[in-house]
Amino acid sequence: MTHLSSHTTAKALFQPYPNGGADARHEEAHGWHVRDIAFEQIDRARIEGNEDLFYLLMGASFIETGSDTYASNLAEHYREYPEIADWLRNRWEREELQHGAALRRYVETVWPGFPWQAAYDSFFAEYSRLCTVEELNEDRQLEMVARCVVETGTTAYYHTLRELSDEPVLRQLLGHIRSDEVGHFKYFLKYFKQLQQESPVGRGRIAGALYARLKELRESDSDVALRHVYAHKGWYFSDRNRSFAEVAQRAYQLISTQLPADLAVRMLLKPLLLPPRLEGYLYAPITRLATRVMAP
């Protein structure tokens, strides 16, 4: 496996759009679609026996498919900012739902005996109760900071899943999703900066929001999703005889140990809007902190 160890490579993934709207429009015009993925060419022999990816991909397909509820709440939260609300409804939500549709198509092709809809319905009955406007940070700047943390986590997550697989169609699909998540990070960071110009928030509060959301990553959506995948797995991997606690621990350990720390930390530092030299000084301690928080 190869990982993002080069600072230059990591930086290149999330440089702000140098030409503003022109680059954003270029990205929009050159996106991808579920129909572009050759699901019929999946090499099932390379993937269907991988228990780790069974759980991680199924869980991701649930979370992405249910993202419209969260997107609607977030758009409502920013209703006083039409540009932000419009982007959330018409770009972010659409791309997140496409991730869900593509991941569902993939996992149903590889593991056709899994009752995806029934498992998703049980997942969503629980997950939807967690997606409320009340869960959002009242301070809209700090909610943007939280979104930057989440997009950092999803970028690193999909990067890691891609590195864990040698199945070509999956690698292509996860590469598309990872690129979308990097793009989402750029937009959330851009809107955070705009809100900061309007009503600045101190770095201490920003750092607090970063840390609080980082701690929540392990305890939120993924745990709910994995639990419902496990409850509906049926005969898949029944010979492994693992408890849910063992499955979840294995999944978290796998992701945390393979996480591209360089990429994640450089993204996490961006909302602090630090001078380059100070950002360089903080890189090592933030790396240690992030690794400790995300460790199982």
- pLDDT for position 230: 97
CATH code for the domain defined by 42-294: 1.10.620.20
Indicate the SS3 state at residue 254. Answer: helix
To the question of pTM greater than 0.95 for the whole model, the response is no
Whole-number pLDDT of residue 252: 84
pLDDT of residue 63: 93
Provide the pLDDT for residue 293: 60
Which residue, 275, 268, 132, 281, is CA-closest to 209?
Answer: 268
**pLDDT value at residue 15:** 38
pLDDT at 17: 34
The pLDDT score that the predictor gives to residue 281 is 77
Rounded Cα–Cα distance for residues 258 and 273 (Å): 27
The predicted structure's pLDDT at residue 87: 97
Q: Return contacts of 134-139, CB within 8 angstroms, 24+ apart.
A: 135/73, 136/73, 136/74, 136/77, 137/209, 139/201, 139/205
Q: Residue 200, CB half-sphere, CA atoms under 13 Å: how many?
A: 6
pLDDT at res. 171: 97
Q: Quote the CA–CA distance of 221 and 261 in Å, as a whole number.
A: 21
Q: Return the beta strands (E) in 11-161 as ranges.
A: none
Question: What is the block-wise mean pLDDT of the chain (296 residues), using blocks of 10 residues?
Answer: 30 36 43 95 97 96 91 92 96 96 98 98 91 82 93 91 95 97 96 94 90 72 91 94 92 82 84 83 73 56
pLDDT at 289: 67
The pLDDT assigned to 122 comes to: 97
In this prediction, residue 9 carries a pLDDT of 33
What's residue 6's pLDDT?
Answer: 28
Domain spans of the chain, in order of start: 42-294
